[in-house]
Amino acid sequence: MSRRRRLCSAGALALVVALGVAARPIDSGAVPRLAVGRLQYDGDDWYANPSSLPNLIRAIRERTALAIEPREVRVTLLDDRLFDVPFLHLTGHGNLTLSDAEVVRLREYLLRGGFLHVDDNYGLDAAFRREIAKVFPDRPLVDVPLAHPVYRIVYTFSEGIPKIHEHDGQPARGYGIFIGERLAVYYSHEADLGNGWEDVGTYADDPPEAHEAALRMGVNLFVYAVTSGVGR
């Protein structure tokens, strides 16, 4: 299967699944499985929030009928498996450095229909903004409008991305990069969704309702990623 077809298959799959917030059975033999990828990069702690993606995957499996792999897939941008992963998650607390080859590969991945979620785990902001500008020098990060489907595709967030973990009193912001009408990069800033996805009690100051809000936003992000389609 070609790289373009592998990524497009996620959008095609969405046409035959019924989404919902109630638990739905998954027929593991009916359709190809979707994967959540964790991006391994040259820099600091790309592996932060170890329980976050397992909990998010569990929520997606329980709350939708999407046939999703039960475990995260760890990939680099130069990994051949990259184009089999429709949803790529990047997090960390500090430096992020992309080589010239990785810049080209990330651009190709996104242009071919891939989706990148970047979660600033407090400290990643400057490095991410620097590197994503190399990937798309002509496509700036912009605020994702509150009317965008990513805030209402399964759960409704009328005020945008929820604030999960407090650092310095700044509001949570959802930034994005669009390719045509399609949101290809979603950057959660000052929200700490990954903290919210982690096991309840990992952060004493984060109440269970913050965990639930974070999971709901994560479900929205994944469902949007695999249903948005290439070139929309």
* Residue 141 in this model has a pLDDT that exceeds 60: yes
**Which whole-number Å values give the CA distances from 84 to 2, 24, 142, 146, in the listed order?**
10, 24, 27, 30
pTM beyond 0.75: the answer is yes
Dmax over Cα atoms in the chain, in whole Å?
47
Residue 29 pLDDT > 80 = no
Q: What per-residue confidence (pLDDT) applies to 79? A: 95
Domains of the chain and any CATH numbers: 3-227 (3.40.50.12140)
Q: What are phi and psi of 187, to 5 degrees?
A: -115, 110
Question: Is 50 exceeded by the pLDDT of residue 219?
Answer: yes
172's CB contacts (< 8 A; 6+ apart) are 160, 161, 162, 163, 164, 188, 189, 190, 191
Mean pLDDT of 96-113: 97
Higher-pLDDT residue of 117 and 17 is 117
